[in-house]
Structure 1
Amino acid sequence: MMTGQPVLGAYFAGTDENTHPIDALPIGLLTHVFYAFATIENGHLRLPPHAPAHLAALAALKQADPGLRTVLSIGGWGAGGFSDAALTPRSRTGFVDESLALAAGFDGLDLDWEFPVSGGPAELTHRPQDRRNLTQLARELRHQLGPARLLTAALPAGRLQAGGTYDPAESYELAALAGLLDWVNLMTYDFGTGFAPIATFNAPLAEVAQDPLEAGLRRWNNVTGAVDYYEHHGVPRDKLVLGVPFYGQGFRVASAGEQAGLYQPQVGTVEVGDWRDIKRDLLPDSAWHRHRHPVARSPWLYHPGTQTFVSYEDAQSIEERSAFAARHGLRGAFTWQLAADDDEHTLLTAMTRPFQPEA
């Protein structure tokens, strides 16, 4: 079982123009906020354009909530520059120096390289030696940050990525990284995206036998399987923080099939937004039929008129995932992302509840 204070975190996207999600965050609800993302541009690190307002809001929040820690996250999907930055001792030193300078007001750094070696957008520079170079980069960051400041990384779980089938161990030296990081933010979501040939769940809790994905991939392409996989590859459970998504995935399907679009061939993706959008626009509309899977432990919506399938998470499914993390000795839970919750903090409350002392 996990000992010590759990990690209850949320990423905040620097693309958000306002600070309301930070300003409105209840005191004591979270332990960590990950500010996303600094990026590498022309070989140098840059903060998002709205960073001054965001950082002022985070500083005010920390003053009101002294137990809160803030972490600067570098990278994100579609962010390049990592392969070059990690390539040589000189480039790594430059990256580390700029990272420490940029994160002067934060409690640590989070690396979100999507992905070394393969799996990320094809147009981003990637090399076979990325795998080892990331470990060397993390080792230098760990040394320079010292024991008092955090070093974490967001690592992938989905087995279908931009280049097809994907294995995280081919991108990361998982056991070595685990020894350098304070913990891993395990991205246990995006199991079902536009890279999948069928309409499926974004974050199924367990393997579903009826999922037509090839059995060797299906075993790992779910929350439980991803945790088992990382543990099998040398990452202790108490160094895993479970990711829960506050957004949905939508697909047009060729037909309804026997389960309201589930596992049907997809003919295109549909932007459905975050939980607050789904709650406001889709759930009150009777044209959308609600369903819940007993094994995946996820809800979904189906619109017969447009043959649209939507995978999403609600308070029940979020709490079930967080309870799984607490029950199995994981370090905690985090979400992508803070602004996606409703004004009542329904999903954040559900995510934190299993880790509360009274739970």
Structure 2
Amino acid sequence: MITGKTVLGACFHAADESTDPIDTLPPGLLSHVFYAFATIEDGRLTLPPQAPAHLAALAARKRVDPGLRTVLSIGGWGAGGFSDAALTPRSRAAFVEQALALADGFDGLDLDWEFPVSGGPAELTHRPEDRRNVTLLTEQLRHGLGPSRLLVAALPAGRLQTAGPYDPAASYELAAFADVLDFVNLMTYDFGTGFSATATFNAPLAEVAQDPLEADLRRWNNVIGAVDYYERHGVPRDKLVLGVPFYGRGFRVASAGEQAGLYQPQTGTVDVADWRDIKRNLLTDPAWQQHRHPVARSPWLFHPDTRTFVSYEDARSVEERSVFAAGHGLRGVFTWHLAGDDDEHTLLAAMVSPFRPGV
């Protein structure tokens, strides 16, 4: 049952110049929208060029949907400047001052540093002391925001990142960090990316024994395993908001193998875009074979002529992940990203249905 604490959220990506995802959002469907992203440019926090139109659309949506809370996300994949901003008491104070000013009109802030210490793009500055400094930075943000505004962080789950095998506890003091936050948006997707050696699932629900990933990584490289990992490291389940992807991942493979490309060596990635594109362009094309895995609880597509494997989520698999979140006492669910859904809001409806019966 939904409560005042339950998070049913979606990220609104600033790269989408249209305001349609906000304008057409049914009132009462979501509890939170995360506006992504503000970034650090030459030491200064800045909003994207499209922000004025987006912020006006968000304000208009809140007038017709007064229960909706809007949160400004800072960072994202490829966003730099965090290590320098968190380095000293003076730099942290300057960052907090700018963040609070930029978040005027929002209900809170979402820190999306990908990632302290290691794991993010190699060209970004990383330092060993980032692990402690991100906690200190968050404590100062918490003090500045006060008790009535939200402080959230997006934290990683995928066990293969830029430099190879990755452990979130090497980047964050997880228990202490989470203690400062209202909740954690757990990025339970990107388990299978270009960093993976084989064509695999973007967001498998459970560990698949046939997955050739090393066993000590495979254990955690799935939705259930990631939640278990964070709990074991001191993050309470009622602070975890489960991430659900509304986009796909594609690979070229060396051969079809025995399972229509699944777990075959990949020879390159393929951009397959969002659910709306997959639904319109791939699911309607009989050349794409449709499959579903009984353990990963995810569908996939395979094109035998081009040897292309596509992992994605549909309404059935999205709802299964939300059922897991609701049944295990998690804080809620969120998606990256709002514009990835179709015009009928098929995936959003499936995502919220275990928390909002009858939607």
> Is the shorter-chain TM-score for this pair beyond 0.5, marking a shared fold?
yes
Aligned residue for 1:348? Answer: 348
Amino-acid identity (%):
80
Q: Which residue of 2 aligns with 1:328?
A: 328
Task: Tell me the SS of whatever aligns to 2:238.
Answer: helix
Name the amino acid aligned to 2:212.
P
- SS of 2:353 mapped into structure 1: helix
Shift of 1:358: 5.5
Does structure 2 retain, via aligned residues, the 8 Å contact 1:28–1:68?
A: yes
1:91 corresponds to 2:91 = yes
What amino acid does structure 1 have at the position aligned with 2:288? W
The answer on 1:243 being equivalent to 2:239 is no
What does the per-residue CA deviation read over 1:83-109, in whole Å, with 9 as the maximum and x for residues that have no partner?
Answer: 000000000000000000000010000
The 5-angstrom pairing of residues 282-293 of structure 1 reads 282-293=282-293
Residue 103 of structure 2 is matched in structure 1 by: 103
Q: Give SS of 1:126's match.
A: coil
| Aligned-partner SS, 1:252 | strand
CA distance in 2, matches of 1:131, 1:86: 10
Q: In structure 1, what is the Cα distance between the partners aligned to 2:47 and 2:178?
A: 27
Deviations 1:125-161 (A, max 9, x none): 0000000000000000001101100000000000000
Match of 2:116 in 1: 116
Give TM-score scaled by structure 2 length.
0.99
Question: CA shift at 1:5, angstroms?
Answer: 3.6
Matches within 5 A, 1:46-195: 46-195=46-195
- Report SS of the residue matched to 1:354: coil
Q: Following TM superposition, by how much is the alpha carbon of 1:333 offset from its aligned partner in structure 2, in angstroms?
A: 0.1
Shift in Å at residue 301 of structure 1? 0.0
The 3 A distance-change label for structure 1 pair 358 and 24 is closer
For structure 2, the residue ranges without an aligned partner over 5 or more in a row are none
Give SS of 1:93's match: helix
The 1-side partners of 2:147 and 2:40 are apart by 25
> Structure 2 CA distance, aligned partners of 1:335 and 1:160?
21
| Aligned 8 A contact 1:72 1:110 in 2 | yes
Q: Distance in 1 between matches of 2:271 and 2:2?
A: 37
Cα separation, 1, equivalents of 2:47 and 2:66: 24
Equivalent position SS for 1:349:
helix
Task: Supply the distance in 2 between the matched residues of 1:26 and 1:46 (Cα, whole angstroms).
Answer: 30
Contact 1:14 1:37 in 2 (8 A): yes
Residues 223-234 of structure 1 mapped to structure 2, 5 A cutoff? 223-234=223-234
Q: 1:76 is aligned with what amino acid?
A: G
**Partner of residue 305, structure 2:** 305
Q: What RMSD, in angstroms, separates the aligned Cα atoms of the two structures?
A: 1.1
Q: CA–CA distance in 2 between the matches of 1:219 and 1:24? A: 39
Q: Is the 8 A contact 1:274 1:340 kept in 2?
A: yes
Find the aligned partners of 1:99 and 1:5 in 2 and give their Cα distance: 24
Which residue is equivalent to 2:202? 202
Q: What do residues 169-207 of structure 1 show as CA deviations (whole Å, max 9, x unaligned)?
A: 000010001110000000000000000000000000000
Distance in 1 (alpha carbons) for counterparts of 2:257 and 2:49: 46
Partner of 1:43: 43
- Is the contact between residue 2 and residue 331 of structure 1 (CA under 8 Å) also seen in structure 2? no
Q: 4+ runs of 1 displaced by more than 6 Å?
A: none
Gaps of 5+ in 1: none
1:212 counterpart letter in structure 2: P
Deviations 1:18-64 (A, max 9, x none): 10111000000000000000000000000011000000000000011
Distance 2:4 2:113 in 1: 28
| Structure 1: distance between partners of 2:266 and 2:122 | 22
Equivalent residues, number: 359
* CA offset digits 1:238-281 (Å, max 9, x no partner): 00000000000000000000000000000000000000000000
